[in-house]
Amino acid sequence: MKPSLPSSEDRLILPSRPLRLFGGAATALFIAGLVVMVLWSILHAAANEPQVAQSTIDIPHLLRMTSIQAGLTTILSLVVGTALAWCLNRLTFPGRGLVVGLFAAAIVTPGLIVAFGLLSVWGRNGWINAALSPLGLSIGNPMFGLPGILFAHVILDAAFAARVLLARLDGIPTARLKTGQSLALGPVQRFAIIDWPAIRGALPGLAAIIFLIAFTSFPIVLLLGGGPANQTLEVAIYSAVRLDFDLRGAVNLALVQIGVCSAIILLASALAPVPTSLGPSGGQSWADRPAARALQWLILLVCLLAFVLPLLSVLIDGLAPGLRGILAVTGRDSFKAAIVTSLVIGLASATLCVLFALLLAMARATTARHLARIGLGAPAYAYLAVPAVVLALGFFLLVRNTGIRADTAAPYVVVIANALLSLPFAIATLGPPLEAIARGQGRLVRALGLTGWQQFALVEFPLLGRDLGVAFALAFCFSLGDLGVISLFGTQDFATLPLLMYRALGTYRSNDAAVIAALMLILALLAFIGLPRLFEKLANAQA
Amino acid sequence: MLKLDALTYAHPGSGLTYRFDLRAYPGQVTAITGPSGSGKSTLLDLIAGFLRPTSGTMTLDSLDLVPLPPEKRPVSLLFQSETLFEHLSAERNIALGLPPRTPRAEAASRIAAALSEVGLPEVGTQRAATLSGGQKQRVALARTLLRGRPILLLDEPFSALDDETRVATRTLVRNLTQAHRWHTILVSHHADDVASMATVKYRIEAGELVEG
């Protein structure tokens, strides 16, 4: 359902909160200023950086490959996601909540870990080849190149799509379902008449988001790309900066990337918004006929295997060396430094992200003026158009132009960049409930004469607890798994867990990489499950 | 006759246990009243098959309804809203009441006849979303006519209608009930609805039906 636009009546309902408006405006201006500076740095470099004599960058080829990969990912993810949502909506079984939660966790599972898990299962030295080798058989290495990239993307994006679409299916009014059941609609009629109208509105917006995620994918393509033939713009930018020292080429690529992403954002902004859907999902009592149920079980099992197997392999391979083997990796100074860096950066960027999101969303919920609402929303979404590596490149150039040492600026840049990259998701999580509170409880808040702080402490925080935890967990996990920003700013002394893992893979220390991957996965899942609960408890204590 | 004998249901959430004894006769409207949360919708869900009773019997003449799934029960439903699929035309909504693979010509003539009977011969091709509240209820009644199921359950069906439409729709339901000998069960908060339509009245008190 589209949120209703604020009406003139809302101006009477909403309490006047000049401080909130000021805080939101200041945050929006700060973010807009950073975006402008990053873009200026990139444009300035495009005009002034010397051209590398033998630049190997082929922009049309990269654009074509990135578009094909992202387009195929989008189509496959929507088809698989719709099928998976259909199955999860229909089937009720013990542990259903856990399975739904597992697919919801796809949004925070680092791409690097999924790619690594796929290689563990399907790679040359993976589980399947190991099982086949006694028979003298081998499947080779099917996960390198476009098939591997697509497979990894579809695992993550189809699970994300399924969670969003499942929320739509769960939201179908009970009376409509009762009418359909009483009319004895068959599975096909039921999908066409009841389900499809409920989900089709979400598909264009979902397609735009998935295309954007796949178009700007970095770690999966870096690990599974298998060479220049399957490179995407993001990976080409990284290669140009870190491997070829072709800064002019990187800047040109970044401009193309920004152009395409901005066009998709503009398109997506005209479509229905896609809220983050991480709440509980109830099963349905209306089961389809046995043949349809058999198909639903089959689809669910295949999807579960495809999603769980790589993650399971990461855990098994990572924990296989035993306590002594794990301690050998975690006892190294480089690991200790990396985990501390990851946690500090994750917590700092998540705090900053939630603070920004609260300031912007509270200010937006305070005003019914259309232009002010656009102004408060736009800067956050501008960052969707500037993917991680491009953002890092912009900051890299900015730091260089200001004469600050890169290693001095690195921690601050990584924290700010990660906070900004998570901001659209945090606002999508916190914005709708804050708007609902303002419109639903605004009259009462006004009638009681509550101050802004009382409104937050007594009304908003207790009602927002879980959403705040979800936003914090998303930002923390995104930062924990980020390889894009750190890949340009990382040094020998300043590395996070993903960078340490990538370096281990680059030097063929796959056991070390497996241990790091397993620990990262456990950390991400713990944060994703634990933080919303922690915030909910804090909020309940407040209530 | 629709007969409920010691039909009990233990609500898993609240722990309340309902016990229903009821007689509903063909061609009559049986009204159920009671405060919010008293169990009126629970009773309708039990008759429609959306809830399974803990014990007791429910029969229509000699047919045992308890083991039948909702789609096999001789029941049609009319809610306050969500009675039609809004994106489909009125005709397509009504066609869902016909048996599968009904020949096209026969379907068209039966739909037209049903629309005429509910006083809306001209709205067939209109999307349900464009119809008024009263028109939607009439189209749903047209579908009920085609389904030919002898029990009609009405859950606050007139609540969203203005006074004039409300009176007209009530009259239509009463007339159709008599003409087609439906066993109509009406759940309503509105005394007007009950007074103008009901032949038999029950109210729910402490989880049980009391006649009168």
pLDDT score for A281: 66
The answer, for B81 touching chain A at a CB cutoff of 8 Å, is yes
Cα dihedral A173, A178, A179, A182 in deg (nearest 10): 170
Residue B79 lies in a domain: no
For residues B143 and B170, membership in a common domain is answered with no
- With CA atoms as reference, the chain B residue closest to A174 would be B82
Give pLDDT tens digits for B53-96. Answer: 999 999 999 999 999 988 889 999 888 877 888 888 999 889 98
Q: Which of B82, B97, B147 sits opposite A175 (nearest CB)?
A: B82
For residues B161 and B206, membership in a common domain is answered with yes
Residues in chain B, overall count: 212
The answer, for A181 touching chain B at a CB cutoff of 8 Å, is yes
Task: Kindly indicate the confidence band of residue B178, based on its pLDDT and cuts at 50, 70 and 90.
Answer: very high
Give pLDDT tens digits for A239-265. Answer: 888 777 777 888 888 888 888 888 887
Average pLDDT, whole number, for chain B? 90
Distance of residue B71 Cα from the nearest chain A Cα, in angstroms: 4
For residues B94 and B123, membership in a common domain is answered with yes
Give the pLDDT mean for B135-157. 91
The answer, for A193 touching chain B at a CB cutoff of 8 Å, is yes
Give pLDDT tens digits for A342-360. Answer: 999 999 999 999 999 999 9
Distance of residue A194 Cα from the nearest chain B Cα, in angstroms: 8
Longest dimension (CA), chain A: 79
For residues B119 and B56, membership in a common domain is answered with no
Residue A482 lies in a domain: yes
A405-414, A523-532, B107-116: which range is least confident on average?
Answer: A405-414
Residue A37: give its domain's CATH number: 1.10.3720.10
Residue A121 lies in a domain: no
Q: Which residues does chain A have within 8 Å of residue B81's beta carbon, measured at their own beta carbons? A: 173, 175
The answer, for A185 touching chain B at a CB cutoff of 8 Å, is yes
A264-278, A293-307, A332-346, B104-118: which range is least confident on average?
Answer: A264-278
For residues B64 and B156, membership in a common domain is answered with yes
Range(s) of the domain holding residue A475: 14-48+332-543
pLDDT score for A2: 39
Distance in angstroms (rounded) separating the CA atoms of residues A499 and A481: 9
Task: Kindly indicate the confidence band of residue A77, based on its pLDDT and cuts at 50, 70 and 90.
Answer: very high
Residue A320 CB contacts under 8 Å (≥ 6 apart), including other chains? A514
**pTM assigned to the model:** 0.78
Give pLDDT tens digits for B84-96. Answer: 888 889 998 899 8
Give the pLDDT mean for B113-139. 91
pLDDT score for A3: 43
pLDDT score for A481: 87
For residues B112 and B207, membership in a common domain is answered with no
For residues B35 and B25, membership in a common domain is answered with yes
Alpha-carbon distance values, A419 to A310, A466, B67, B159, B170 (Å): 28, 19, 57, 50, 60
Distance of residue B102 Cα from the nearest chain A Cα, in angstroms: 15
Residues in chain A, overall count: 543
pLDDT score for A273: 56
Residue A445 lies in a domain: yes
For residues B162 and B110, membership in a common domain is answered with no
**Contact in structure between A90 and A96 (CB atoms under 8 Å):** no
Which A residues 196-215 touch B at CB under 8 Å?
197
End-to-end CA gap in chain A? 29
CB contact under 8 A, B48 and A285: no
Give the pLDDT mean for B186-193. 89
For residues B160 and B205, membership in a common domain is answered with yes
Global ipTM? 0.71
Q: Which residues does chain A have within 8 Å of residue B76's beta carbon, measured at their own beta carbons? A: 182
How many domains is chain A partitioned into structurally? 1
Residue A217 has pLDDT above 50, yes or no: yes
For residues B127 and B65, membership in a common domain is answered with no
pLDDT score for B184: 96
Which A residues 253-292 touch B at CB under 8 Å?
285-286
A9-13, A127-131, B184-188: which range is least confident on average?
Answer: A9-13
Final residue before a domain boundary, out of B121, B148, B175: B148
Residue B27 lies in a domain: yes
Residue A305: left (phi > 0), alpha (psi -120 to 50), or beta? Answer: alpha
Residue A117 tokens read as 């898990």
pLDDT score for A294: 94
Q: Which of A179, A189, A197 sits opposite B82 (nearest CB)?
A: A179
Helix or strand run (H / E) with residue B9:
strand B2-10
Residue A519 lies in a domain: yes
Looking at the DSSP bridge assignments, the partners of residue B201 are: B31
Residue A92 lies in a domain: no
Range(s) of the domain holding residue B15: 2-74+150-211
Across A386-411, b (16+ Cβ under 10 Å) vs e yields: bbbbbbbbbbbbbbeeeeeeeeebbe
pLDDT score for A8: 47
Task: Specify the higher pLDDT residue, A10 or A500.
Answer: A500
Task: Kindly indicate the confidence band of residue B187, based on its pLDDT and cuts at 50, 70 and 90.
Answer: very high
Distance of residue B175 Cα from the nearest chain A Cα, in angstroms: 23
Residue A440's nearest CA partner among A145, A1, A94, A4 is A4
Q: Which residues does chain A have within 8 Å of residue B80's beta carbon, measured at their own beta carbons? A: 175
How many domains is chain B partitioned into structurally? 2
Give the pLDDT mean for B48-57. 91
For residues B144 and B159, membership in a common domain is answered with no
For residues B46 and B68, membership in a common domain is answered with yes
Residue A154 tokens read as 């579809």
Residue A149 lies in a domain: no
Q: Cα Rg for chain B, rounded, in angstroms?
A: 17
Give the pLDDT mean for B157-164. 84
In a 10 Å sphere around its CB, with 0-12 CB exposed, 13-18 middle and 19+ buried, how is residue B99 labelled?
Answer: exposed
Residue A499 lies in a domain: yes
Average pLDDT, whole number, for chain A? 85
Residue B157 lies in a domain: yes
In a 10 Å sphere around its CB, with 0-12 CB exposed, 13-18 middle and 19+ buried, how is residue A184 labelled?
Answer: middle
Longest dimension (CA), chain B: 52
Count how many pairs of residues, chain A against chain B, have C-beta atoms within 8 Å.
Answer: 46
